[in-house]
Structure 1
Amino acid sequence: MSINHKNIPYSILELASVGAGFSPAEVFKNSLDLAQKAEAMGYTRFWLAEHHNMISIASSATAVLIGHIAGGTEKIRVGSGGIMLPNHSPLIVAEQFGTLGSLYPDRIDLGLGRAPGTDQVTAQAIRSDRMRAVYQFPEEVGEIQQYFSEDNADHQVRATVAEGIEVPIYILGSSTDSAHLAAKKGLPYAFASHFAPTHLFEALHIYHNEFQPSEHLQQPYAIACINVITAETDQEAEKMSTSMVRMMLGVLTNNLDYMQPPTEMNAELRELMQHPAFQRMLKYAFIGSKETVKQKTEVFLQETGVNELMVASHIYHHEDRINSYRIFSEIMKGK
């Protein structure tokens, strides 16, 4: 299989991971530097996640960070991967992204998900009625679409900065529920296979088989997210991955900590990576040299048939992360 960036776009999901010894300001500076370099490397989008009460992830004020990244780049699309809608008022989301769409025309994406992006106690602190909002997710997506419509000018409640502004909406999912919604609404669909791969193929099957063309999209458009850590050699990439392994262990054991510097891969970490929980979560973590990652990526594209790849990475050293994304861009360009 020949991979060509002209028919398989590739993008970045940025979590703004906070390494030990780094301040949020340094993390945000590095995120912008990555976005600028990704733009030059041919990446299509630079999406920012939404997480709360996690010391290892700084992407909590997603709309603010999108403005920061879009303001420092020229052409790469910048968006949310995603806005966790039950945490927010649809009106406020429409106003924020309508504003971003006006400031950066034809460059802003609005990815919407229904997970909390945090623990339940924090989710309750964010929005006390969020469980009602979870069940009303389809209706609230519709509300946002209405606020962006020029037809909303006659309504009593308006997001005037959003009316008529072109901000594409993407439905995000980590199970099968949102696949039904994306298909019904005729919207593009992005699946979080970088941490929840179990239902990837079932969700893609549902999305493609139930898809109904809309004014937004005539054919299904599916994005899948993978983890990629690549370097000049398999051994070097494996060492870099120890930061991610320790970070994932903290998530699984609810013992969250800053992302730690890489160490040599040892027997204990290798055994840990064989644990079923790790195997499930990191099924699509492609770690290795350029050739190793290329082979795994080609198999993934063949098996899934997705229209676009989105890449996440937890790499401690900024220079290593830039290099990993550079190598992956060369893979996708067929170099």
Structure 2
Amino acid sequence: MSQNKKYTPYSILELASVGVDSSIHQTFENSLDLAQKAEEMGYQRFWLAEHHNMLSIASSATSVLIGYIAGGTKKIRVGSGGIMLPNHSPLIVSEQFGTLGSLYPNRIDLGLGRAPGTDQVTAHAIRSDRMQAVYKFPEEISQIQQYFSAENKRAQVRATVAEGVDVPIYVLGSSTNSAHVAAEKGLPYAFASHFAPTQLFEALNIYYNKFQPSKYLEKPYTIGCINVIAADTDEEAEDISTTLIRMMYGVMTNNMDYMQPPIKMTEELRELAANPAFQRMLKYAFIGSKETVREQTSKFLKETGVNEVMVASHIYNHEDRLKSYRIFSEIMKDLKHK
């Protein structure tokens, strides 16, 4: 599946993680600062997630945050990673992203997923009939495409602000189901291997083998997501990763809390990180020095053949996070010349 190419675009998936002693306002300001710095570092796009009822994640009103980030940057593409479509009306999504696409031409992406982005009780509070919408995911994507088409001006129901606006749609997935949808519709496909790597290769194979060219995309385009914590040394990165380990432990034990500051790595945390359940979820968490992360990233790109890599990070200190993304941008520029 390896692809020989000289340049792999690299992007950011932002969850707007909230630290234990930080405000929501400060979290959003940090997100904007990261996007501005990422633009300077050569990142291709800056996507914002959709999660609900989680103390540690402030990326809930995704389209609002996209407008905030796009308004504070100049050229980096900004989008959703993603809009969890069963939570929303296709018409409203079209109106929101049509508006964004008009305000920031040729800079807005619409990534669509079908997971709830939260627990089932909260998902029911968001939209009580969402399970019906889950099964209609392919049809609702088609609805959005129709609302964005110039031809829809003759329809009884219109999203007038979206008609003819160029906002590319990406299908998001963490299992094989969405791979079929993306392939059949001829749309680009982003896989959440940063937290659900188990079916990555099976999903990519389905997508490549079943891909049908469309007016949106002539040949397959894939994005693989990874976690990265890069620092000057392996030991420093390992200590910074204690924040991620404790956060993932909270997810697995249903005991979510604010993002905690890093501590010196302990044997207990090291054993926790080595737990098979952790290893399954964080198979593609690349933690270490520039050399270590470069080796892991290069291997990931060769094994998967993805067209683009998207990076997520749960790093407590903003300066540490900026440094990690700066190191990663240097890695990708180094790999470009190899």
Q: TM-score, normalised by structure 1?
A: 0.98
Q: How far apart are 1:275 and its partner, in Å?
A: 1.1
Question: What letter is aligned with 1:231?
Answer: A
Task: After superposition, give the CA deviation of every residue in 1:199-224 in whole Å (9 maximum; x if it has no partner).
Answer: 00000000000000000100100000
Task: After superposition, give the CA deviation of every residue in 1:80-109 in whole Å (9 maximum; x if it has no partner).
Answer: 000000000000000000000000000000
Task: After superposition, give the CA deviation of every residue in 1:83-142 in whole Å (9 maximum; x if it has no partner).
Answer: 000000000000000000000000000000000000000000000100000000010000
Question: What letter is aligned with 1:229?
Answer: I
Question: What letter is aligned with 2:235?
Answer: Q
Question: What letter is aligned with 1:305?
Answer: G
**Equivalences, count:** 333
Matched, 1:161 2:165: no
Matched, 1:113 2:113: yes
Match of 2:282 in 1: 282
Task: After superposition, give the CA deviation of every residue in 1:184-236 in whole Å (9 maximum; x if it has no partner).
Answer: 00000000000000000000000000000000100100000000000000000
Equivalents in 2 of 1:147, 1:191: separation in Å? 26
Conserved 8 A contact 1:4-1:334: no
Question: What letter is aligned with 2:30?
Answer: N
Equivalents in 1 of 2:276, 2:324: separation in Å? 27
Conserved 8 A contact 1:15-1:49: yes
Which residues of 2 match residues 66-81 of structure 1 at below 5 A?
66-81=66-81
Match of 2:196 in 1: 196
Q: How far apart are 1:282 and its partner, in Å?
A: 0.3
Q: How far apart are 1:33 and its partner, in Å?
A: 0.1
Matched, 1:175 2:175: yes
Partner of 2:198, secondary structure, is: helix
Which residues of 2 match residues 28-47 of structure 1 at below 5 A?
28-47=28-47
Match of 1:62 in 2: 62
Match of 2:92 in 1: 92
Partner of 2:199, secondary structure, is: helix
Partner of 1:198, secondary structure, is: coil
Match of 2:241 in 1: 241
Distance 1:4 1:264, change over 3 A: farther
- Which residues of structure 1 form unaligned runs of 5+? none
Equivalents in 2 of 1:274, 1:319: separation in Å? 27
Matched, 1:254 2:254: yes
Question: What letter is aligned with 1:127?
Answer: R
Match of 1:297 in 2: 297
Conserved 8 A contact 1:84-1:115: yes
Equivalents in 2 of 1:122, 1:277: separation in Å? 25
Conserved 8 A contact 1:259-1:316: yes
Equivalents in 2 of 1:316, 1:4: separation in Å? 36
Q: How far apart are 1:4 and its partner, in Å?
A: 11
Conserved 8 A contact 1:4-1:332: no
Q: How far apart are 1:274 and its partner, in Å?
A: 1.3
Match of 2:13 in 1: 13
Question: What letter is aligned with 1:240?
Answer: I
RMSD between superposed Cα atoms in Å: 1.2
Task: After superposition, give the CA deviation of every residue in 1:270-311 in whole Å (9 maximum; x if it has no partner).
Answer: 110111110100000000000000000010000000000000
Question: What letter is aligned with 1:297?
Answer: T
Equivalents in 2 of 1:311, 1:325: separation in Å? 9
Q: How far apart are 1:5 and its partner, in Å?
A: 9.9
Structure 1: 4+ residue segments shifted above 4 A: 3-6
Distance 1:78 1:162, change over 3 A: same
Match of 1:329 in 2: 329
Conserved 8 A contact 1:91-1:147: yes
Equivalents in 2 of 1:295, 1:11: separation in Å? 18
Conserved 8 A contact 1:11-1:43: yes
Equivalents in 1 of 2:275, 2:326: separation in Å? 31
Distance 1:258 1:321, change over 3 A: same
Equivalents in 2 of 1:144, 1:266: separation in Å? 49
Q: How far apart are 1:177 and its partner, in Å?
A: 0.3
Equivalents in 2 of 1:187, 1:330: separation in Å? 30
Equivalents in 1 of 2:154, 2:7: separation in Å? 41
Conserved 8 A contact 1:5-1:333: no
Q: TM-score, normalised by structure 2?
A: 0.97
Match of 1:101 in 2: 101
Question: What letter is aligned with 1:80?
Answer: S
Match of 1:130 in 2: 130
Match of 2:149 in 1: 149
